[in-house]
Chain A
Amino acid sequence: MSGANKKKTASQRVAQALVMAVVFGLMLGVTKLAPASKGASGVILGVGFLLLAGMLVSEVLELVGLPHLTGYLFAGAIAGPQLLNLVDHDSVQRLEPVNTLALSLIALAGGTELRIDLLKRVLRSLVWATAVQCVLGIAVIGTAFVAISRFIPFTAGMNLSALAGVGLLWAVLAVCRSPSATLGIFSQVRPDGPVSRFSLAFVMTSDVVVAMLLTAAIAVARPLIEPAAGFSLKDFSDLGHEIVGSISLGTTLGLAVAAYLWLIGGQLLAVLVALGFGLTEALHYLRFDPLLAFMVAGFVVANFSEQGEKLLAAIEETGSVVYVVFFATAGAHIDLGLVRRLWPVALFLVGVRITAIFVAHRFAARLSGEDPVVRRWGWSSLVSQAGLTLGLSVVVERAFPSFGSGFRSLVVANVALNETIGPILFKFALDRTGESGKGTLEKTFHESIPPPPVAPKREPA
C-alpha cells in the first residue's frame, strides 16, 4: 500500500491488527464450515484472502523494516497448503491465470521504465556487469555445485563430466534475476538514484541474456551428461525463433497500445487486463516468451511515442493488487517440506551465489569506473530470484528427464531462500543509500536522469 511510507499511528496499527485477526478468523471459520473448494470458488476466495492477508502481514513486517514483498510471501506461505491450508493446493494451482496476468503487467511496467536515455547512461556498467557476472558467477557457482555434489541426492552415480554438465546448468540458472521483485520494491519505496538506475537496467535486460545462456548451456551439457548425444544447434534455432518472434510481436503490441492510447485512451485498465489474459495465451501458443514480448511492448510505448506516462500511470494503479497477488501466490507455492529437507545444501548454494554476485559486482564496478555508491550497493538487487528462474528450471527438467525432477526441487528450495533474502537486501541498500522515497516511478527514471557528463577539454600543452 502506498501509504506505507508514512508513519502510522498506534491506533492505525491496532486497527490493522484487529482487521488481520478478523480476516484470518473468518477464513479459518469458513474453511472449517465448508472445507470443499473444488472449482472457482476456491480461487476467488483465495485471491481475496491473499490480497488482504498479504497487505496486512506486510504492514506488520514493516515495523521491523522488512519490505512489503516479504510480507506478501510470508502471508502466502502461512495461508498456503503447507501450513494453515486456508488456500489449498487446488486453489493455488488454479491461480495460475491470475499470476500470468500479474506477470504480464509487471513486464509491461518494466519495459515502460526502461528509457533509451537510461540505457545509454548505464551502458558501460551494464556490459561489464553482465560479462563479469556471467563468467565469474558461472565459474564459481558451477565449481561449488560440483564440490558438494556428494550431498545432492539426484547426482548420485554421476561421473565427473556429467557433474560438470549439471553444474553448468545450475550455474546458469543462478545468474538469473527477478524483474518482478525489483519492480515490486520500486513500487513500494519509490527510489531515485544511481543504485536504483543500475539495478533496473541490469535486471530488466538480463532476461534475454539468461535465456541465451541457458540454451547454450543445454547444448554444451547434453553431450557431457548423455555421452551418446551429440552437440546440436537445433536449440539455438528454437531460441532465435522465440527471441525474434517475441521482440517482433512485442513491438507490434507496443505500437498498437500507443495507437490506442493516442486515439481512444479510455478503459485502459480493461484493455490491459484483456491483453494480459488474451495475448499471453496467444504467445504461449506461438511458443514466444510473454515476459520479453510485454517488456518490449512497454519499451516501445515509452520510447517511441508520447504515451509512456499515461501507460505507466495506468499500470501503477494496478500495483497495489498485482504485486500482492503475485508474491502471495508465490509464497503459497513454496514447498516448505522440500525446503526443510534440502535446506543445508540450498543454504550453502545460496551463500556461494551471494558471495559470487558480490565479488563479481565489485570487480565489474571497478572495471567500468562505476559510482562508489553503486560499487558498494549495486549487488543487492541481483540476489532476488522468482518466477523466471522457476520457469527456466522447467526447461531443464524437460531437457533432462533423468535428473530433471530432483534438479527442479533444488531450484525451488533455492528460489524460496533467494526470494526471501533478496528483497530484504535490496530494500536495505536503497534505505542506506538514501534513495528510498526520492521519487515517483516516472520521475525516478525519466526526469531525474542527469545529462551525461561532458568530457573536460584537454588543456593545451
Chain B
Amino acid sequence: MSAVALLLGLLVIAHLGSQLVGARAAGYGLASGAEYLVLGVVFGPYVLGVVERSTIASFAPVAAVGTAWLTLIIGVGYGFWGNRRVRFRGLVAGIALSAVSGGASAAAVYFLAPYALPLGEADRRLLAAGVGLVSCEMAQHAVQWVVGRHGAEGPLAELVGEIADCDDLVPLLGLMVSFSAVRGAILPIGVLPVSLQWWTSVLGTLVLGVALGAIAATLLRTEPRASDGWGALLGASLLGIGVAWRLGMSPQTVTFVLGMSLAAFSRHGVELRGMFARTERPVLLPTLVLAGAQVKVDHIAPFVSITALALAVRIVVRLAMAPVFAGLARAPKDIAAPLALGLLPTGALTIAIGLVYAMRFPGPVGDTVLAVATVFTIFGEIVGPASLRRAFVGAGEIAAVPPGVVATNARGARAPEPMP
C-alpha cells in the first residue's frame, strides 16, 4: 500500500473517530484531540503494525513541515487572547510558569536520568533539555474549550488564557538553543549542516524569522485582503523552513519568529490570525497521528521512570505556582489545587517538540522525549479540562449547574457554543 493512501486512510478513520468520541465525550469534559495521538500509537509499527517503520520515516518531511506550520500559527497569535493583547502580568505569568516548569523538569531529569538510562554526558544534557522543553506548555485549546463550553468569564479565566498564550515563547527559544548547540546530528532529511558557531546559529534563526516575516508583510501590503496573499505567506514560511534545515537551525523557531514578525508588521493582523487558525486542525491531525505512530511503546520500560519523574515535577511546580495565580486573579485560595491540575493540559506545541526531537535526535533521547510528550498530552486531556472547570466554578466564574442543565456564566448568560 502506498504511503500517501495509508496516511489518508488513517486520517479518515481518525476523523470519524473524533466525530464519534468527541460528540459522546463532550459532556464529560474531554477536549477533543488526543484521540488522534492514540490512534497513531495503536496503528503504528510498535502496536498493531498497520503502518511500517519505513512508511513513517518517509513522512518525516511532512511531519517536520507540519510542526513548523503549527509554530507559525502560534507565532501569529502570540501575545493575543481572543482579539485583544495580553496584559503584562499575563505575559510574565506565562513565561514564568513555562520557565520554572521546564527548568525544574530539566534539572530533575539531568540528575536522575543516569539511574534510568545509560547515557553519555552530551545525551544526558540533550535529554534533560528535551524533557524540559516538553514540560513548559499549557495548551490554549483546553482553556478555550472550557471557556467556550461553559462560558467562563472573569479575571481567572482571562489570566489562565493569557498564561496559555504566552508560555510558548520559552520552549521555542529553548528548541532554538538545543538545535544550535548540538552540531552534526542526523537531520530528518539527511542534510549535513554547515559548521556554524552556536551563537551564529541562534542569531541566524532570529534574523531569518524577522526578515521573512517582514518580507511576507511587505508582499501582503499590496493585497486588499490577507487571504489573497497565501502565496506570499506559504512562500516565506517554506523558504524559512528550508533554509533553517539546510543550515541545521530550528525551523520551528524560525516560523514562530516569522509569525510574530508578520503579525507585528502587517496591517492585516486580525485577519491573519483568523486565516491561520483555520489551517491549524488540518495540519495538527496528521502531525498527531504521525507522532503517535513514532512512540516506541514496545520498549517503554526504560522511559517510564523518566516520564513519571517529569510528570511529578510538572504537577509539583503547578501546585506551587497555582496559589500565586489565584492571588493575581483575586480568586479564593482554595481553588489552587484544581487550578494546578487545570494548568496541566499540553497540546500542539508539546507534541510538535516531541516529534521534532524524535526526528532530530533519533535514539533513546528522542524516543524518551516523544514518549514524555505523549503521556503529558493524554494525561493532561483527561485531567485538565475538568479540573479547570472546577477552578472556574470555585472562583465564581461559572455558575455551578447539575448535569443536563445548560451552563451559564457568572452573570447568568447562556454559555456560547464550544470553540471549533
Contacts and interface: CB of A to CB of B under 8 A. Distances in A.
Interface stretch (B127-135, B221-229, B362-370): B221-229
Contact of A44 (B5, B193, B241): B241
A56 B235 CA distance: 11
A37 interface: yes
Interface string B40-74: 00000000000000000000110011000000000
Given A30-B243, A38-B191, A278-B8, A51 B222 contact: no
A55 B216 CA distance: 12
Interface of A: 1-4, 6, 8, 12, 15-16, 19, 22-23, 26-27, 30, 33-34, 36-52, 54-56, 267, 269-270, 273-274, 277-278, 281-282, 317-318, 320-321, 324
Contacts, number: 150
B309 interface: no
30 contacts: A1-B228, A1-B229, A1-B232, A2-B223, A3-B222, A3-B223, A4-B222, A23-B239, A26-B243, A30-B243, A33-B246, A34-B192, A34-B247, A37-B246, A39-B190, A41-B191, A41-B246, A44-B238, A45-B238, A45-B243, A48-B242, A51-B232, A51-B238, A52-B232, A52-B236, A55-B231, A274-B8, A281-B5, A321-B230, A324-B235
Determine which residue in A3, A16, A22, A56 has the highest number of CB atoms from chain B within 10 A of its CB, and name it. A3
Given A23-B215, A30-B243, A37 B235 contact: no
A44 B224 contact: no
Interface in B213-261: 215, 218-219, 221-224, 227-232, 234-243, 245-247
B219 A55 contact: yes
Given A34-B246, A320-B231, A44 B215 contact: no
A45 B208 CA distance: 14
B312 interface: no
Contacts of A267: 281-282
A100 to B, nearest CB: 11
Contacts of B230: 317-318, 320-321
B219 A36 contact: no
B4 A51 contact: no
Given A30-B243, A45-B239, A2 B228 contact: yes
Contacts of B218: 15-16, 19
Given A45-B246, A55-B231, A269 B5 contact: no
Contact of B2 (A27, A40, A281): A281
Nearest to B241: A44
Given A49-B239, A274-B8, A15 B221 contact: yes
Given A317-B227, A317-B230, A281 B243 contact: no
Given A41-B245, A278-B8, A48 B238 contact: yes
A48 B2 contact: no
Contacts of A46: 242
A1 B222 contact: yes
Contacts of B112: none
B25 interface: no
B319 interface: no
B211 A277 contact: no
Contacts of B189: 39-41
Contact of A19 (B187, B215, B245, B247): B215
Contacts of A6: 222, 224
A44 B4 contact: no
Contacts of B219: 1, 16, 19, 52, 55-56
A269 B282 contact: yes
Most buried by A among B193, B222, B227, B245: B222
Nearest to B245: A41
